[in-house]
Chains A and B, each alone.
Chain A
Amino acid sequence: MMGRLLGGIAYSLLFSIFEAWLIGAHTENGIKKYLSKSFTLAAYANSVVAIIAGLVGHHAASASKMVPILHKETLYVGGYISPFDISMGALVLCGVLALLLWEENFGDNNNSNNLHDHTAWHEGWKNACVATFRSPDILLCGVVSSLFEGSMYIFVFFWTPAITKAASVAGQEDDAAAVPLGLVFSTFMICCMAGSSLFSILVAAGHKCERIAVGVLAVACVSMALTAMYSSRVSTSSNDTTTHLLWTMNLFEMTIGLYFPCIATLKSVIVPDAHRVAIYNLFRIPLNAIVLMSLLTKWTPTQSFHLCTGMLLTATILQWILLKRRERHGSLVAGGAGKPTDDAEDIAPELELEREDSWSV
């Protein structure tokens, strides 16, 4: 239980501080126009790492049985523990590298010199809430990301049972267990990579991030609706259903690959740097609530996919509102190194504007 509690905290940190540091480092070095490119590469590399982790984990777990080192069963090695040991090694290395390679960066530039201000920790949190609820842009962006990422987690929980069931009903009862889940996972990750690359193509072609996001969410919504449809047809299914299911799932994975660099670029502009991590974590509250809900209610994969479709539809509409809002203000996020001539100037003044926006209490 303790492990899960700690893991939960680590999870929140993983999805906010790294991104925040990257944005901070870009701002400091005046290379903000490469930010979307960085996010693309990070997402791409992340998918590669996922595949590598899958392979390493599989070999480590199957290489040896779990055996106690000492007599009294205090310390085990091998088996399913091995991936965790490797993971630990990676973490140690990660910490060392962070110490060696990274410079410290703070959100609150104004107050970075009075670090002994101990009362401030909840202050920052409060300011983040205030900033979020004062700016409709931040709020919309946050809700959109919660909805999309929520449906992504639900998808992650349910794709295995959905596809296994489809394959088993389709007349492969004897080898239903033989669905190559590792291969399917790798296929997903490869689609994710293709999605990330597609994002950088779109940015290079001069499309604005808000507009890309609307398209991405709409496609995600359609692919989820199709996934739900095919998974509901499983009982009457033929082999084709499994294949169709697989393709629509792949399409959804591709939108995931597009989504992450896209939303990261958007958030890098919309969210004020001072409270970046706090606000990112605020966004994660509804996300976790959605995931908890889906874990606690015992829904079938099909029902869950339907829920996801609804959530994605809502996200699409909200993102469209965000697009219209920002269009009116004439402050769309270009986000790329695609057209270096005006992009660099485009982003910088807008950042100032956003910051003033949320500070003007």
Chain B
Amino acid sequence: MTDFPFVFGAALVLNLAVTLRSSDCWKKYLTSSSDSEDAVDDTKQDLELKKTWRGVLNRYLAVYLLATLSDWLQGAYVYALYDDYGYSQHDIAVLFVAGFGSSMIFGTFVGGMADKGGRRTFVLLYCLVYGASCITKRKSLLNGVG
């Protein structure tokens, strides 16, 4: 029997090790406080920039992560939902093909407009479009619009 929990644990330990190494935390513990030249090197301007960066990043993550959350939630259950509605394997495949085809054709055109129309406007459009896509997952509507 493959030990799935063991592999999971090993990956988790690996991840923790690498993450700790990549973050700045390890420096605090591993290097003595005497050679904390990094802190001295940080000029006031640098600190100012870093603050701006944090601000931008936080604003970005708040919006971006909600967007990906909605995507992960939908992505994982589309198949299960269609299956539950009694669609055949073939129908589901067709629906998936339609999705990627639409991304290829319409998505490209819509994307081309975003440079001009402004990126924030198109983030709002994304929410609208994906929200509409959620609504169409309702069975009664599925019967109507496919």
Contact = CB atoms under 8 A, between A and B. Distances in A.
Q: A and B from one assembly?
A: yes
Interface of A: 1-14, 16-18, 20-22, 24-26, 29-31, 34, 37-38, 40-42, 44-46, 49-50, 52-54, 56-57, 61, 66, 73-76, 79-81, 83-88, 90-95, 97-99, 101-108, 111, 115, 117, 120-122, 124-125, 128, 167, 170, 172, 179-180, 183-184, 186-187, 190-191, 193-194, 197-198, 200-201, 204, 239, 242-243, 246-247, 250, 274-278, 280-282, 284-285, 288-289, 291-292, 295-296, 340
16 contacts: A8-B98, A13-B125, A17-B123, A25-B60, A31-B49, A42-B64, A46-B64, A50-B72, A57-B72, A102-B63, A122-B112, A183-B5, A194-B11, A197-B15, A277-B114, A277-B115
Chain B binding surface SS class: helix
Contacts of B8: 183-184, 186-187, 190
Contacts of A101: 59, 62-63
A201 B22 contact: yes
Given A13-B114, A247-B7, A95 B15 contact: no
B67 interface: yes
B29 interface: no
Dominant SS among interface residues on chain A: helix
A92 B106 contact: no
Contacts of B14: 191, 194
Given A10-B126, A13-B111, A87 B134 contact: yes
Contacts of A1: 95, 98, 145-146
A53 B74 CA distance: 9
A289 to B, nearest CB: 7
Given A9-B110, A289-B104, 11 more contacts: A5-B99, A17-B126, A42-B64, A57-B72, A75-B138, A80-B84, A87-B71, A94-B67, A191-B15, A243-B7, A296-B97
B66 A90 contact: yes
Residue picked from B72, B81, B140, most chain A C-beta under 10 Å: B72
Nearest to A244: B2
A125 B98 CA distance: 23
B93 interface: yes
Range of interface residues on chain B? 35 or more
A292 B124 contact: no
Given A180-B4, A295-B97, A13 B110 contact: yes
B88 interface: no
Contacts, number: 376
Contacts of B22: 40, 197-198, 200-201, 204
A17 to B, nearest CB: 5
A120 B117 CA distance: 10
A197 B11 CA distance: 13
B137 A3 contact: yes
Interface string B88-100: 0000010111111
B119 A194 contact: no
Contacts of A9: 102-103, 106-107, 110, 129
B62 A121 contact: no
B73 A190 contact: no
A358 to B, nearest CB: 13
A44 B22 CA distance: 12
A136 B131 CA distance: 38
